[in-house]
Structure 1
Amino acid sequence: EAGIGVILDLVFNHSGESDRYGATLSMRGIDNLSYYRHAQGEPGLLINDTGTGNTLACDHPEVRRLIVDTLRHFVIHAGVDGFRFDLAPILGRTSNGFDADSETLTAMLEDEVLKDRVMIAEPWDIGPGGYQLGNFPEKFLEWNDRARDDIRRYWRGDEWTTGALATRLAGSSDLFSGHTRTVNFLAAHDGFTLMDLVSNEHKHNEANGEDNRDGHGDNMSWNNGTEGVTRDRDILADRRRDAEALLSTLFASRGTIMLTMGDEAGRSQRGNNNAYAQDNEITWMDWATLDEALVEHTAMLSALRKRFSVFSETSLLTGDGDIEWISPSGQPMQVSDWENPANPVLGFMLKTDDATTGKATRLAIIINRGHTPQTFALPGLNWRCYPDNQPWDTALAPRSVRFCIEN
């Protein structure tokens, strides 16, 4: 009734029984050889494609039945709208590696109760051939870490990233064909929060008790002038500005978007990018310190996606009448624009229906990742800014994304 669906995150790749030295809690005591994957010819050696010490044998009929029955239970008895699968290639693994047409993946998609549910894959595990982004069956949406990384690199200021960003904004045609199945995101439950991404060049995991050795070291992050916590108002304003720009870029992209709770409000984990074991102020949501300006900005972006039909479409943007890439002169981008390694600006126009007016129109999205103002002309005469409805005056502020509607 409220228009909110429920997606349940499930882990069908390992159990809490760890490696061969772990406790016997459930499946190990029932049928160790059937429920877990073992090395060929070595029944005492557990395969570890998950990093937890064991890997479920999802191609075994009994494990397949366990998975499908569990999914059916949550749909029938809880009304769940869909599922996100942790380390999802495990679901499609056989003795020969990942198989998108495996019996288990097929059973999940063809079951009468499950066939209309949303299915989302985290398309990687740590086993051989474990990175399977773009290779899941057509009904699956897939977490797109390349979109995450390319958006981050672009706003960090890395050279030669304009083309990569355009590919992600248009639906990732290098990964999907026909229509996009991408789930674009900036941050997830693992890694930096969005605010930590623009506040830290390095991870700060000392509280985890491993001398900061844990957690990923390459976060494609920056700190806007000082590392971590600061009271400098200019630096804090720059961090919010960058968070707004990153959010605007995400919400302007073709495909499904994912936003981690708290990122719309400036939540921080004090630079800790591996905080799964912290049940304290590091990970708790501090409701008293929410950034209301960032919340309002995110709400504006959400309303934008709801208003314009182009953001609910799934076809890949190809440039064949659906999108136009434009330079600051308002003219189509040239090879020299694409090949400028430090190009600070990127503009594009989308054909779309406007739910507010009931008419077809064009929506222009203009990006300036540079640290100085830019002048950006739009073709035609009557462009107004969203959401303030002011005429577009060609002035593009540093580190900003602007939206304009043609009237």
Structure 2
Amino acid sequence: MKSKYLYKLVITGILTVVILSSATAQQSLSGTYTMTAEQATLTLVLTQTGNMITGTLSSNSGASFQLEGEVMEGAGAGICTGGGSSVFFEVFLAGSDLTLGLIDPDEFNMPDYDQAQYLLFTKQSEQAGTKGQTGNITGKLFGNNQQTNQQPDNQQYNNQQNYNQQNLNQQNYNQGQEGWSQQGNTGQEAGSSTIGINEVGDPSWGFKFVPPAGWVHQKSAEAAILGHTTIAGMILVLPHMAENMQQMQQELYQGIQEEGNYLTLSGGLNQVSQNVISGDYTGIMDGTQVKAKGMGILSPFGGGAYLIAVSTPDKLGNELITVTENIARNMQFFKVEVAGLIQHFAGNWASFTTSTSTWMCFCSDGSYSEQYEAAYSGNFDDGSGNWSAANQDSGQGRWTVRGTKEAGQIIVRMNNSQEIIYEYKVHQEKGYTYYNEYWFNGRHYSKKTE
């Protein structure tokens, strides 16, 4: 379960554990809230009138931003503007603690949750503190680093979550069963890659499911987070590319260990059925102690899903775990069609700087080779996707892809069992799209045609 996108989603979700567990979802957001971030004192003044919310976010340095949006199911969302820049915002209230999320727009003018930061405020009547990780708030928000001129649209926050009131199957696990039964309650034929309006999933994931009644979700290209207003904690659902139970078991053993945040296995793994493994985890996320129930499901088509029910140690209970098990039990799997994408990306890709060169071959037979050298010298291409030159590092493995021609992930499993995930986006410039140029993990590559 080790990956950058999982880490980002866990951090985002941990910061909303308290929020999603609030039993007072309908309390007014109006009030004055403060927090201390680095050398700045931030003040957030909100006014809720019906389902509309306005406000001002300011600092003791004199910077000020205006907020305007709507309130749905106790949470506010809209646009934060000021200093010639705009970002999306979300606010959640749990008792006297209010969390403000600031989310940059992506190139499609949609919220980019990989670029989100969450700030925890306290009502002015309470003692203000420095709860939670603030990130570089004084530099990014109150400094001179606003990088977007896009103007997000409030209509993008219209509530689309009129979920079916589905009664999920409550049967217990059956040790040694042939996988969990799929109930077909989604309105789609089992095995269909079409994602219905009431479903969560993605054609590139290879699975989909219907959220239980009363649960809300946020979905990115990499995973989904589910939360509830009265059940403490959250549920992470994300795809994996394990080819068999042994690989999935190995990944579950590894847990999450990145950038000072971790989830480690607190006991052994249990094989629930022929395609399901589960385990208990403990760890620290963003300075908060957490417990989790992790589950891995292997799809009959390869790959599958990880589900993680996570909360603070005193809040992780049977209710959250049972919902997670029901989602897993009712999940539908289908074969991901990647032939077209594999054909599109197959070939040699190169990236150059003034002193380095990096070459990657996503070969059409599924093999992968990479080559790095510290200077432009040597004859790289031997016609087979492997390169040879002096003073260089190289590696080989297998690759696959999920997503679209515009954006997605290329997953590489090296021969030493290391997994590399390349987040890719097509290069766009002056209104033109160049499908022979891509950004792989933020680095520009061009496809070699000769």
TM-score normalised over the length of structure 1: 0.29
TM-score normalised over the length of structure 2: 0.27
Task: Decide which structure has greater strand share.
Answer: 2
